[in-house]
Chains A and B, each alone.
Chain A
């Protein structure tokens, strides 16, 4: 399976997947006009990864998400939730700057709907 490597722009985050290591890394702001199109490769990757493998870690340093990006992230977390229910080992680590409580609030609202390990980590 091909890994994804997308460089950040001012309106889209950096996205790197690591099939061998079982992880996805995302960093930056996300407010593309067409989020569904932009995130299609990642959604496909996570979906096929979870069909083949049984553990996945999402390392997130996401900041601002527009509402259509929020909807996509929820779809991805729903896939993780389903995998978790099926006995797979999935984790989200969402790192944020302690100065910006909005990011923690956003992550917290996603966490409410997830029963897998979802860590919100404030950093100085």
Chain B
């Protein structure tokens, strides 16, 4: 049996300036450990404390959203996350993907699109409004506050896409530029 071609995988990572990538079932402790690795990396790269905190914050919101979604929708593979952090053209890009019900994905894409039309002041007032929403309402609408928070930290509109899969599922990818 041939060993997997890890060199080409590594070349691909290098070309895409991917500094961190994870694919598999994500747990609370893995989120912490990968987060620590990310912070240490940014410290050695002398990233400014503000940007490092934004990158970390977006990473935590994205991965915890996947954990919460998996907890609320216990289908097989729901807790499998694909997480990637890269540094290109002077910006960090934090991306995460997971399997969702098609309708949930469509709803999230609509939210992302709506947030993209708002400027920083409008995002702030949306954020404060969402902060005052009762807890159960927040849970019902899904990633409300977290999504707005990421949009505020982002230096470009959040990118999201949906790849349809079988049986009413889809793969959701979200990418945030810091």
Contacts and interface: CB of A to CB of B under 8 A. Distances in A.
Interface in B101-152: 128, 131, 135, 138, 145-146, 149
Given A66-B64, A100-B49, A71 B54 contact: no
A66 B36 CA distance: 15
A5 B57 CA distance: 26
Interface residues of B, number: 21
Question: Is chain B's binding surface mostly helix, strand, loop or mixed?
Answer: helix
A60 to B, nearest CB: 16
B32 A67 contact: no
Interface residues of A, number: 21
Contacts of B28: 11, 33
B30 to A, nearest CB: 12
Interface in A48-87: 63-64, 66-68, 70-71, 74
Given A33-B67, A71-B145, A100 B53 contact: yes
Given A11-B32, A70-B131, A71-B145, A102 B61 contact: no
Given A11-B32, A102-B50, A67 B135 contact: no
Interface in B80-109: none
Nearest to B50: A102
B42 interface: no
A33 B64 CA distance: 7
Contact of B53 (A67, A71, A102, A109): A102
Of the candidates B36, B49, B67, the one having the most CB atoms from chain A within 10 angstroms of its own CB is B49
10 contacts: A10-B32, A31-B64, A33-B67, A33-B68, A64-B56, A68-B145, A97-B49, A99-B49, A101-B50, A102-B53
